[in-house]
A and B are shown apart, each in its own frame.
Chain A
């Protein structure tokens, strides 16, 4: 038996595998057992009902998809009355992702969402197609600090903060979020990108820009998780390009406590469950009793190789 459970602040997850916001809904219960997931993560909710961006909202590229959905939703009232009860039918903790255009509204929304059936507030301050003074605060250290501080003052729920891979220096932003009271950092949202069609010279997406999603981004996000893990004390959830159990292991070795998965669940609707089963088998095979042994266990301090001495000596 392997103990797959991990702790993120006061919250215990039965395993480190959870869906990524926006790429999941309770409707996946049609195909998998949601009670097996580490957590349930709802799509980012805004205060007002929103239709979202014009279509097409997705386009394929050589190395992944770009998408720009535009945070559609029926607004917070409908969310609390109809969607939270759908998630409450299942056992794993419910993480509610939230976005607003102003810091004040962000804080007010987080307060209104702090109801008993909601276990965690995830501040999506990194929606790539919003601007940095309007919802995409994670582009800037000061905006991040102000926003998270304001939310922290209005809720006692665990507060997770989703960061942007588009910021210049994600480590400073991570530290600002930690300082302001974040309980966990979710790294990262999608990469701002563009595709232009050569048949009609038009942008492929209705919203022009979109977020790139691809397993090819995993090494970049992994690097960010590694760097941030060295700089902060709070737990990290790694999101980006996880498609198999070894990817979970890799993120954990880099310092993540858990991972989020989007794309892999589109490709294989049963992927999250398989990844959990495979992770357990992987640990078993290596005699790893607790999955938490993997967190930050990358061996980067004893890199012995014959070329090291010569290389560091210079020419």
Chain B
């Protein structure tokens, strides 16, 4: 090794083909190669990344911490957390579905085929399917659907039936419908434009699913309103549930205590780390935001 003058940060992430010094470790830092990064609608992009096999350990509800390139030449200081949208073990790829918002995601939107992309993970506790569950209900809105989508993969692997209620502003920005349906889920789309996404209507749909025995468990992400609804119905009908939470995050390992959210555990309010205690939590313990 030779040390030329440079102010580059240290970087020792695993590239495709590198020998893995620690194959048994849960988490790694990887430099993947972008396969594609295309718009799915005016706000959201879908990134497919070829990665070292170690990264394929990821499962539904877990996340990666992404080192986003700069959108403007200035530094992006923190990584950005993103749920795994899909893990394709045969192709050796992980996928992300993301909304372009601030500097990090705008930088990410600039990535093109062949580009390097540094990701750390998989991190956190994801969704868990209990043995007795035969049918689950997934309810998500906006970017929450990116987090919930891989549940369809997990459920299909376990022979569990899925009803996915997809909420969006208008029919053009409904996401993940195909991904859910491909894997055998039944989908119900509700949108703001015809008021079908109103809480009362979604409540009717959920009550109906419960009555038909299609709701052994609830899953949600991305909307406080929908979380409260599922909590209320879950409590009323004794349907257990899981919620994926978001919060500004720094380390991703549970060390820095930045990504805190409030939870109610045994009647007492407390704070938990989204990155390590979650990002998936017992739905009834979540206080919302």
Contact = CB atoms under 8 A, between A and B. Distances in A.
Interface of A: 22-25, 27-28, 30-31, 33, 43, 51-52, 55-58, 60-65, 67, 69, 72, 214, 243-246, 264-271, 273-275, 277-278, 281-282, 285
Contacts of A23: 251, 255-256
Interface in B1-46: 1-3, 7-13, 22, 25-29
By Cβ-Cβ distance, the 10 closest A-B pairs, closest first, are: A274-B12, A25-B255, A31-B27, A281-B1, A30-B27, A27-B254, A274-B10, A57-B258, A30-B26, A58-B258
Nearest to A57: B258
B10 A25 contact: no
Interface string B141-183: 0000000000000000000000000000000000000000000
A69 B74 CA distance: 26
Contact of A30 (B1, B12, B253, B270): B253
Contact of B255 (A28, A61, A65, A214): A28
B271 A51 contact: yes
Among B25, B256, B276, max chain A CB count under 10 A is at: B256
Given A27-B276, A268-B9, A278 B251 contact: no
A285 B12 contact: no
Contacts of A28: 253, 255
22 contacts: A22-B255, A28-B255, A30-B26, A30-B27, A30-B253, A31-B120, A43-B257, A60-B76, A62-B74, A67-B250, A69-B258, A214-B77, A245-B3, A267-B77, A267-B79, A268-B11, A269-B27, A269-B120, A269-B252, A273-B12, A278-B3, A285-B2
Given A67-B258, A274-B10, A278-B1, A266 B29 contact: no
A159 B78 CA distance: 33
Contacts of A282: 3
Nearest to B12: A274
Contacts of A55: 247-248, 258, 260-261
A69 B256 contact: yes
Contacts of A52: 257, 260, 271
B75 interface: yes
Contacts of B67: 267-268
A271 B67 CA distance: 14
Given A265-B251, A274-B10, 8 more contacts: A27-B255, A51-B271, A56-B248, A67-B250, A67-B258, A267-B67, A268-B120, A278-B10
Interface of B: 1-3, 7-13, 22, 25-29, 67, 74-79, 103, 118, 120, 247-248, 250-258, 260-261, 270-271, 276
A65 B249 CA distance: 12
B27 A57 contact: no
A294 to B, nearest CB: 14
Among B9, B26, B76, max chain A CB count under 10 A is at: B9
B25 A268 contact: no
Nearest to B8: A244
A245 to B, nearest CB: 7
Contact of B256 (A22, A267, A277): A22
Among B10, B12, B257, B261, max chain A CB count under 10 A is at: B10
Among B74, B77, B260, max chain A CB count under 10 A is at: B77
Nearest to A68: B258
Nearest to A28: B253
Contacts of B79: 266-267
A264 B10 contact: yes
Given A31-B28, A55-B248, A268-B10, A285 B1 contact: yes
Given A264-B9, A273-B12, A72 B257 contact: yes
Contacts of A33: 22
Contacts of A269: 27, 29, 120, 252-253
A56 B289 CA distance: 12
A65 B27 contact: no
B253 A25 contact: yes
A65 to B, nearest CB: 5
Given A58-B248, A243-B10, A264-B10, A285 B3 contact: yes
B89 to A, nearest CB: 21
B250 A58 contact: yes
B254 A25 contact: yes
Contacts of B3: 245-246, 278, 281-282, 285
Contacts of B77: 60-61, 64-65, 214, 267
A266 B256 contact: yes
Contacts of A43: 255, 257
B1 A266 contact: no
